[in-house]
Amino acid sequence: MITTLVGKKAPAFKASAVAFGDQIINDFSLEQYIGKKYVVFFFYPKDFTFVCPTELHAFQDALAEFEKRNVALVACSTDTEQSHWGWLQMAKEQGGIKGITYPIVADTTKMISINYGVLSGEYKMDAQGKLTAEGDTIAFRGLFLIDKKGLVRHMLVNDLPLGRNVDEAIRMVDALQFNEEVGEVCPANWRKGEKGMEGSHAGTAKYLAAQK
């Protein structure tokens, strides 16, 4: 069954993460941001690969733009926190991600990827609730924009070879904040500074009213 998380609470989790480039944090959770910040939570397939560092560095290069919009950036893959830490010590010129400061979550159980609907490969849960898989199961390039109430407002999932556009992630943050602040909706290709449109789809209006 194909499902969407848009309009629903972002799945909660606690896991190890590496932040500020070298600090391992136990029991990291997105719940720390509820009521305080928006979150762009994005998954990537694997440490020590080729496309992934281009995305991680691109998000880091845009970190000031996200922070200016009160957005916390958080990355996640199914690698261990030790793997994250090791990759963070490698220079960019060597294929590493040294200089990345936002948290990188270690989804070692792969349950975070499952709950966000981004785990690739063939897998199932056995009668004891243990994950069994055939072949390599890693995360697709999923991205989730979570508002300050903890609701998913936008999601994007790319196949493994397809890198994302960081400017589009920023545009979606701008669109969400414009809608919240002004009450108007955003037409196709809307960008910050442009006019919105009055009125909204009845379902959207009902949804927004329910959040008040």
Positions annotated as catalytic residues are 52
Specify burial of residue 66 (Cβ count, 10 A radius: 0-12, 13-18, 19+).
buried
Q: How far apart are CA 141 and CA 172, in angstroms?
A: 17
Q: How far apart are CA 51 and CA 70, in angstroms?
A: 27
**23 contact partners, CB below 8 Å, separation of at least 6:** none
Residue 177: both structure tokens together: 């904040």
Q: In this structure, are residues 72 and 92 in contact, taking their beta carbons and an 8 Å threshold?
A: no
Q: How far is CA 43 from the centre of its chain?
A: 6
DSSP string over 123-139: EEE-TTS-EEEES---B
Q: How many residues does the chain have?
A: 212
Q: What is the DSSP letter of 5?
A: -
